[in-house]
Structure 1
Amino acid sequence: MNYGLTDIFTLLGALSLFLYGMKVMSDALMALAGNRMRNILATTTSNRFFAVITGFIITAIIQSSSATTLMVISFTNAGLLTLTESIGVIMGANIGTTVTAWLISILGFKVKMSALALPLLGFGFLLSLSKKANRQHWGYFTIGFCLLFIGLQFLQDSVPDIRNNPEALAFLSEYTSKGFLSVLLFLLFGTILTLVVQSSSATMALTLLMCFEGWIPFDMAAAMVLGQNVGTTITANIAALVANYQAKRAAIAHLLFNLLGVIWGLILFYPILHAMEWLMLQMGEDSPFLATATIPVALSLFHTCFNIANTLMLIGFVDWIREIVEKVVPVVADKATEIDEPHFLSESSLKFPQTAIKALFDESLRLLETTAYQAIAHGLHVHRKDLESGKKLKHILKSPDTIPLDLDRLYDTKIKTIYSCILSYATRLQSQFTLEQEKIEIIRNILIADRMLVQVVKQMNSLHDNIEHYMASDNLSIRREYNILRRHILKIIRSIHHIATAEQAETHIEKQALQKLKAEELDVLLSGRLDKLVLEGEISNDMATSLMNDSAAALRISQKLVDITTLLYTPEDALSKQIDEHSELEALEPVAVESATPDEKTPKQPPAEPAGV
């Protein structure tokens, strides 16, 4: 049998056509249902069993376990999925990928799809010319589906004619008759082949074809399937190389889960194969050990049963898997930098609108809970550790300590850069995707909260200096008045810490709403306390002027902090229902922000305007 270089390239071309058809079909399905799939993935994985079902459904629909796994890596990187949830989704994706094998086994070998492929291809092409995007995607799906089976037919036609030239099998027979060593060799072959073609579906198609053509027996094909389960994890690990430690953990968990499955699969290898043979006989089919025509269905059955059994065996050990990968991939401590940099606004998060919005949300929360929180606490001359302890505020306020703080420098190094990056990132997000009104509203609320936060930090400047000045005064009245201002703001930022660490934040947000109402009593001019203090000679005129301005600033700071907390912890709520018109308009006052880097320019206009203004 002559099988030259031209034949080899023909075989590679047929494989390329199969892979291209798979890609076109998968991309079209992602365009049709991808956003819905991502929404499902982000919201229905809280329970490990739901996570498995979600992973199965998504992979079965989009026909790509790699696409599902890459989504999982991106979502874990953005914090939309926990490590436990991501492990469950990956387990489900392993089951979902077996659907491809059934499609190929039934439609590729049992039914001659190539006869229908060309007419369907023409129909798909006509659909792709439609001006409606939905019809275009259905057209591309049909084209990809047809190319997949045309490629499979070319593969069948371009492989060597083994039936009429059995001597070509001589080299393979040397590797199929070495007992369990042969199983390990073909497992390694399946792993390497999957690494090379970067598609377990393509490797499965080649394996099924090799069985159908009589190249390899059923047991060696099953060993290749086990190898594919290992090889397919490499794609996720490559994607996780540039991601954070959480995404790396998810990728390692994928590898560990599949490796554990391969280990017990090898231990019970032959009993499992005989169980598959028994099932085939019960279905009225011939034994896959004797008839090559039945191997594709038997192999698909093995693939499905193995992945389902592996999931059922290991789903109870998800926490154990999580603990192992947490030890293998430790938490990466953030590097201390003079100029703060975004932690969540990564390029990988911009792949999907869900991860991008989550990145905006997380970066804004980080700005509130770390830098701004510290600036406000220190601005009131209170150490963060004291505020987060169980000490009562009246005891904390008795401390005579003052905290030196350069708020202008803190703003320049820790806040301005982050705020500028948030604005730029939001602009890119809204220009890159066509977003639903609900998501646009969430982005608006986050941006308004960030702008108000910047204003609060700026307003703390004069308050910090006057507190330091008057807390050292011998005048008990002025010290008491400034402690009233400090106590009220401290109550609000202490509740922010409680909200950040509590599972149910609603109660604390409701308490903050009460603090917003009480904040109106802070203004000594509106409450009439200022006249009383001056008339009774308790404070001087200079003290009265400072107190009047600082009490008004404390009122604004308190109200804005409540509004910021409401917007950032409930960003999906309508803005008009949560903050009053005055605060909303004040939040839209321009804030001067310079670019983080010379190459990154702040947008001339805000990326979104708030609803109702």
Structure 2
Amino acid sequence: MRRYSLPIAIAALLVTFWFSPDAQEIAAGVAIFLFGMLMLEDGFKLLGGGTLERLLERATSSTPRSILFGIVSTTLMQSSSLVSIITISFLSAGLITLIGGVGIVFGANIGTTTGAWLVAGLGLKVDIAAYAMPMIALSIVLVFQKPKAIRGIGYALGGLGFLFLGIHYMKTGFEAFKDQIDLLRFALPGLLGLVVYTLLGTAATVIMQSSHATMVLVLTALSAGQITYENALALAIGANVGTTITAVLGALGANYQGKRLALAHVIFNTSTAVLALIFISPLRDTVDAVSAFLGIASDDYTLKLAVFHTIFNLLGVALMLPLLHRLVAFLIRRIPEPVPDVSQPRYLNAAVDEFPQTLESALRNEVQHLYENAEALILHGLNLHRSQVFDSGDIAATVRSSRRIFDLDLEEGYERRVKSLYSAIVDFTTRVGGKQTPQDILTRIYALRDVSGDIVQAVKSIKHLRKNMLRYTVRPQGTVSELYDGLRTEIARIIVEIHKLGLAAPDDRSALWLDQERAQIEEDARSTMRRVEALIRKGELNANAATSFLNDSAYAYGAMRDLIEAARSYYIERDPAMAEVERLLTLDENELGDSNATARN
């Protein structure tokens, strides 16, 4: 069916244009308006330079702030769709919490009502085409400039110009259209009209992927007297339902968190629409009272429609806000977190590809995922339990008491838990390199790729070390077992310290320990060689065991160096702004207590 939908749509438009030339003007107005929205979105992406993303990260520390962000951002961009896509992207990357994302959706629904006020109060009462032409002309000059900020201003200015121009053509098209066909003949009163026109509003929004465009179309038709006020109310309700399709489509490439947010969007908008339909008469009376209070004429139906659009969206938020935590709990039950597949990327999904900030944050979380897999393999490869090592007050004693062989196929574990993730990370960074990503972010992304490479090399070193380690440590064999236990102890100690580094607050992390540890590794490598030579001279170590140990110690110290280097690049050598983001996210987790909604920092 999807294969034939585009040809059918084009054929329907051509037939309509053949029978009614004035319909061309309306259709062109809608197309110009939608093109203006695309330009406006592109302009904000260029102009923001990550500002919008940083604001989003800060806006989720409380529900009121989340709602306020949704209102303000949607008002500025006149696109709840873009706000929804950004929110899903950040949620999928583990940058914001689910409860914060739902709050933004609530606010976006309120913010989108400002578009109806602008169109009804300005667009239909002023000759905005006179302003559109110079805006578009100026924008073309700006979009061909090299500085990103200037190009962003050009796209935003051109977007506004095309929005105005689209409204103008829709308005004039409907005014000319009514001389040929009176659409009022298709007006439907009562319950049937509510249902039919709500479905039409939903369908129009699904097709145009913009509730804002649907509202402009409804307002211009209402202004031209082509639809009744009652039917226009139903169309506005339907537009709110239809806008959820954007969130649903955006969540198709997202992880389970993005899908939860899309479901929340559907539940919220659908519930609000149902309540508005049930209480349509009291709502209409409320609109009349509010309009009279604001001085809006009783026959100014376009402004009254804007009042209705605002009231029923505010009503929806007011009713759903007390149920917010129950809604989130339902979403978590309905779309549970999948059983983690350690061999598959958790954060590198299509939803994070839209914005530079989510690219970097998703990759950072995925590298952390890789390290957790590698950490387990390294310790298990040394016949050590993570829980015992992390809880131990004496790592050396824990190592000496750990003699039982782990049932572990290290090669298979490496292929499934490390190499597969590393391949996904390399593929992701290669794909990002082909995008127009800011150079500073691209540099940090490549640095994270190098971190993952260091982690992989550490695991490879343990693979080489394991054979002789098992040979000499499962059963105590005197001096040679002590030497191998020393290597196991040092590797375990470094992993414990890196673990502590990850748990520390970003401001408390210091490179001092890393510098000292790197120097200690080099000194230990030299002293190990001297000690082995002394043991051979004393006859306490045979040449065969000594040769094996010297080779294995090279692997062990190589693994330590790689782990230290990975920790330095991941935790210390970072952009200050990213450290601030991590600090804020840590605060958010503590304040909201939603441990399932954010990734481990």
Question: TM-score, normalising length from structure 2?
Answer: 0.81
548-557 vs 146-155, greater mean Cα deviation: 548-557
Deviation at residue 369 of structure 1 after TM alignment: 0.5
- Counterpart in 1 of 2:456? 454
Question: Are 2:291 and 2:304, in contact at CA under 8 Å, matched by a contact in 1?
Answer: yes
Q: 2:63 aligns with which of 48, 54, 65?
A: 48
Asked whether the equivalents of residues 480 and 541 of structure 2 are also in contact (C-alpha less than 8 Å), the reply is yes
* CA RMSD across the alignment: 3.5
Corresponding letter in the other structure for 2:41: S
- Distance in 1 (CA, whole Å) between partners of 2:475 and 2:411 is 25
Shift of the alpha carbon at 1:365? Answer: 1.5
Partner of 2:110: 95
Q: Is the partner of 1:159 in helix, strand or coil?
A: helix
Greater Cα offset, 321-330 or 425-434: 425-434
CA distance in 2, matches of 1:232, 1:167: 28
**What's the counterpart of residue 214 of structure 2?**
203
SS at match of 1:486: helix
- 2:366 is aligned with 1:355: no
CA gap 1:123/1:377 in 2 versus in 1, 3 angstroms: closer
CA displacement at 1:468 relative to structure 2: 1.1
> What residue is the counterpart of 1:273 in the other structure?
284
What amino acid does structure 1 have at the position aligned with 2:401?
K
Contact 1:344–1:359 (Cα < 8 Å) also in 2? yes
Choose the corresponding residue for 2:242, options 207, 231, 242. 231
Q: Which residue in the other structure is 2:313 paired with?
A: 307
Contact 1:379 1:464 in 2 (8 A): yes
Q: 2:325 aligns with which of 302, 307, 319?
A: 319
State whether residues 522 and 552 of structure 1, in contact with CA within 8 Å, keep that contact through their aligned partners in structure 2. Answer: no
Counterpart contact for 1:524–1:548, Cα < 8 Å: no
- Cα distance in 1 for partners of 2:200, 2:41 equals 26
How far off its partner does 1:231 sit?
0.7
Change (3 A) 1:102 1:402: same
2:302 is equivalent to residue 296 of structure 1: yes
Counterparts in 2 of 1:534-545, with a 5 A limit? 534=536, 537-545=539-547
- In the TM superposition, 1:474-489 aligns within 5 A as 474-489=476-491
Change (3 A) 1:403 1:509: farther
Pair 1:517–1:127, CA change in 2 (3 A): closer
Q: CA deviation at 1:376?
A: 0.7
Q: CA deviation at 1:351?
A: 2.5
After TM superposition, list the pairs within 5 Å mapping 1:139-288 onto structure 2: 139-159=154-174, 169-172=184-187, 175-176=188-189, 178=190, 180-287=191-298
Q: What is residue 589 of structure 2 aligned with on the other side?
A: none
Whether the aligned pair in 2 keeps the contact of 1:522 and 1:554 (CA below 8 Å) is: no
Counterpart residue number, 1:563: 565
> Do 2:92 and 2:257's aligned partners in 1 also have CA atoms closer than 8 Å?
yes
Distance verdict in 2 for CA 1:69–1:491, change over 3 Å: same
Task: Summarize the Cα distance change of 1:18–1:456 in structure 2 as closer, same or farther, 3 Å threshold.
Answer: closer
CA contact (8 A) 1:17 1:147 kept: yes
Distance in 2, Cα, partners of 1:243 & 1:317: 25
Q: 1:521 to 1:404 in 2, by over 3 A?
A: farther
How far did 1:237 drift? Answer: 0.5
| Cα gap change, 1:319 to 1:516, in 2 (>3 Å) | farther
The verdict on how the C-alpha distance between 1:487 and 1:512 changes in structure 2, with shifts beyond 3 A counting, is: farther
Tell me if the contact between 2:510 and 2:572 (Cα under 8 Å) persists in the aligned partners: no
User: Aligned equivalents of 2:359 and 2:144: distance in 1?
Assistant: 32
Aligned pairs (5 A) from 1:4-83: 4-33=19-48, 35-83=50-98
Contact kept in structure 1, 2:183 and 2:226, CA below 8 Å: no
Structure 2: runs of 5+ lacking an equivalent:
1-17, 577-601
CA distance in 2, matches of 1:535, 1:140: 78
Q: What residue is the counterpart of 1:344 in the other structure?
A: 347
Contact 1:190 1:203 in 2 (8 A): yes
CA distance in structure 2 between the aligned counterparts of 1:485 and 1:511, rounded to whole angstroms? 23
| 1:333 matches 2:335 | no
Question: Tell me, what secondary structure is at the counterpart of 1:242?
Answer: coil
CA distance in 2, matches of 1:506, 1:128: 41
Contact 2:405–2:470 (CA<8 Å) still a contact in 1?
yes
Cα contact 1:87–1:253 (8 A) shared by 2 = yes
Aligned to 1:367: 370
* Corresponding residue number in structure 2 for 1:106: 121
CA contact (8 A) 2:183 2:227 kept: no
What is the rounded CA distance, in whole Å, between the counterparts of 1:126 and 1:461 in structure 2?
Answer: 60
Q: Distance in 1 between matches of 2:464 and 2:144?
A: 64
Conserved? CA contact 1:415–1:454, under 8 Å: yes
For structure 1, the residue ranges without an aligned partner over 5 or more in a row are 575-613
Instruction: Kindly state the Cα deviation for residue 246 of structure 1 after the two structures are TM-superposed.
Output: 1.8
One-letter code aligned to 1:75: F
CA–CA distance in structure 1, aligned partners of residues 297 and 53 of structure 2:
42
1:376 corresponds to which residue? 378
- Classify 1:517/1:122 alpha carbon distance in 2 versus 1 (closer, same or farther; 3 Å): closer
Deviates most, 272-281 or 115-124 = 115-124
Over 3 Å counting, the alpha-carbon distance change for 1:483 and 1:127 in structure 2 is closer
- Distance in 2, matches of 1:306 and 1:429, equals 42
Q: In the TM superposition, what whole-angstrom CA distance separates every residue of 1:490-517 from its partner, at most 9, and x where no partner exists?
A: 23334555666x5847778889647666
Output the CA distance in 2 between the equivalents of 1:395 and 1:124. 69
- Please report the TM-score for the alignment, with normalisation by the length of structure 1: 0.80
1:278 is displaced (CA, Å) by 2.0
AA at the equivalent of 2:123: G
Any idea what SS the aligned residue of 1:400 has? Answer: coil
Q: Which amino acid aligns with 1:155?
A: M
Does 143-152 or 521-530 show the bigger shift? 521-530
* Corresponding residue SS for 2:574: coil
Distance 1:570 1:544 in 2: 37
1:497–1:265: structure 2 CA closer, same or farther, 3 Å change rule?
farther
Separation in structure 2 between the aligned mates of residue 483 and residue 526 of structure 1, nearest angstrom: 13
Q: Secondary structure at the match of 2:222?
A: helix
Inter-partner Cα distance in structure 2 for 1:82 and 1:454: 30
CA–CA distance in structure 2, aligned partners of residues 359 and 456 of structure 1 = 23
Q: Which residue of 2 aligns with 1:554?
A: 556
Letter in 2 for 1:197: M
Instruction: Note if contact 1:388-1:494 (Cα within 8 Å) is conserved in structure 2.
Output: yes
- Superposed displacement of residue 380, structure 1: 0.7
1:162 positional shift? 8.8
Aligned match of 1:599:
none
Contact 1:30 1:62 in 2 (8 A): no
Higher mean C-alpha displacement, 227-236 vs 545-554: 545-554
Secondary structure of residue in 1 paired with 2:438: coil
Mapped partners of 1:167, 1:377: distance in 2: 78
Measured after TM superposition, the shift of residue 527 of structure 1 is: 8.9
Paired AA for residue 224 in structure 1: L
Structure 1 residues 13 and 542: CA distance shift in structure 2, 3 A: same
Name the CA distance, whole Å, in 2 between partners of 1:111 and 1:169. 25
Amino acid in structure 2 at the alignment position of 1:243? A
Deviation at 1:404, TM superposition (A): 5.7
Paired amino acid for 1:240: A
